Amino acid sequence: MHPRFQSAFEQLPAALRSALAPMLHAASFTAAFSAGQVDLLCQASGLQREALAFSLLPLAAACALAPISAFQVGAIAHGRSGNIYFGANMEFSGAPLQQTVHAEQSAITHAWLQNEKQLIAVTVNYTPCGHCRQFMNELRGAGQLHIHLPGRPAALLGHYLPDAFGPGDLAIDTLLMDEVQHAYRLADDDGAPLAQAALTAACRSHAPYSGAHSGVALEDRQGNIYCGRYAENAAFNPSLPPLQAALILMNMRQGDLSAIRRAVLVEQADAALTQWPATRDTLRALGCEQVERRLINKQI
Ligand SMILES: O=c1ccn([C@H]2C[C@H](O)[C@@H](CO)O2)c(=O)[nH]1
Ligand SMILES: [Zn+2]
């Protein structure tokens, strides 16, 4: 088991611990549980899904990287598939606070990158901030999304974000996590796998407001590749850059953010916005200097 889970794991009830141990020990553990694993954990612990998620929250929060606040937020996204996905906040020393990832964004993006089609609930250990409520409002059926907080009755996002501003106000009907396949190709395709991986991510990014689709691929010192897609938001500022999405996946898969060897950002040359300076600077703050910007064109 990754050492970050040890102390939270030790505080779980024995029945849950014994069912959970083989899952956490698996080399393939990705900070997510399949519907079948969730059923197994419910049976073994005697807990219902919601109570189980509350029990697992300290494990999700243990994934937090909070060098600035030391404040650990954990979230769990519940997919329609029955799978559940951990999320945790991530702060980056030496980069602007705007680059921070919130736990709710982490869990939702984690689910999206694992190809979950829709979310039914999010469990979180602190009340979601306004920025996260707005981020969640980008999802299909957002008003019906259940929010589970410790010590509070279950309520819908519509309760936490009444009179919401959202995609509909900008006449947008493609929502975050909807299946999309944008047709782009690399302007200068040299067959490099990292650029290809970033392109694949960009083709599934959510940028209905700017049309500035983008993707990032990271390679660590072991040769593992982590990809992230851009997730735009109707209110613009809560948008999650593609680098953050890739870092979420890397953190969830127990990767070491200080061991990123190379990175590629792909985006269009003539887009309304660029991810380049922020991507380069945040990666530099993480100790990665080998960052490339590759251009993509709409395929005609
Ligand atoms: O809804 C919230 C509010 C805050 N945080 C994180 C961001 C930052 O890392 C730390 C302090 O704000 O908590 C979240 O993850 N979710
Ligand atoms: Zn938040």
100 lines ligand 1 (CB under 6 A): yes
137 lines ligand 1 (CB under 6 A): no
Going from the Cα of 33 to the center of ligand 2, the distance in angstroms, rounded, reads 23
pLDDT at position 211 is: 98
Give the domain range for residue 274.
184-298
Q: Are residues 140 and 198 in the same domain?
A: no
pLDDT at position 27 is: 87
CB 246 within 8 A of CB 274: no
132 lines ligand 1 (CB under 6 A): yes
Nearest by Cα to 282 from 256, 263, 255: 263
Residues in the chain, overall count: 300
pLDDT at position 146 is: 98
Amino acid identity for residue 39 in this structure: D
Q: Are residues 156 and 45 in the same domain?
A: yes
Q: Are residues 151 and 281 in the same domain?
A: no
pLDDT at position 133 is: 98
Looking at residue 97, what DSSP letter applies? Answer: G
Question: Backbone phi, then psi, for 21, in 5-degree steps?
Answer: -55, -50
Domain count, the chain: 2
Instruction: Assign residue 259 the CATH number of its domain.
Output: 3.40.140.10
With a cut of 0.90, is the ipTM above it? Answer: yes
Q: Is 147 domain-assigned?
A: yes
pLDDT at position 300 is: 78
Q: Are residues 223 and 268 in the same domain?
A: yes
Nearest CA to ligand 1 atom 16: 102
Is residue 63 marked as binding?
no
The label of the residue with tokens 């209905």 reads 208
Ligand 1 atom nearest to CA at 88 = 15
What residues contact residue 117 under an 8 Å CB cut-off, 6+ apart? 79, 80, 81, 177, 179
Q: Are residues 71 and 123 in the same domain?
A: yes
- Give pLDDT tens digits for 210-258: 999 999 999 999 999 999 999 999 999 999 999 999 999 999 999 999 9
The pick from 100, 109, 124 for probing ligand 1's pocket by mutation, whose C-beta has the most ligand atoms within 8 angstroms, reads 100
Q: Are residues 35 and 136 in the same domain?
A: yes
pLDDT at position 183 is: 98
Question: CA Rg, the chain, in Å?
Answer: 19
Helix axes 49-61, 103-113, angle to 10 degrees: 110
pLDDT at position 20 is: 98
Q: Are residues 147 and 79 in the same domain?
A: yes
Q: Are residues 78 and 160 in the same domain?
A: yes
Is residue 132 marked as binding?
yes
- Give pLDDT tens digits for 231-242: 999 999 999 999
Q: In angstroms, how far apart are the furthest CA atoms of the chain?
A: 58
Q: Which residues of the chain have pLDDT under 50?
A: none
pLDDT at position 207 is: 98
Amino acid identity for residue 222 in this structure: Q
Q: Domain boundary at 146, 170, 194, which?
A: 170
pLDDT at position 14 is: 97
Q: Is 245 domain-assigned?
A: yes
- Output the CA torsion sign for 280, 281, 283, 287: positive
Ligand 1 atom nearest to CA at 68 = 9
Q: Is 260 domain-assigned?
A: yes
- Rounded distance between C-alpha atoms, residue 174 and residue 88, angstroms: 26
What residues contact residue 168 under an 8 Å CB cut-off, 6+ apart? none
Q: What is the pTM of this model?
A: 0.98
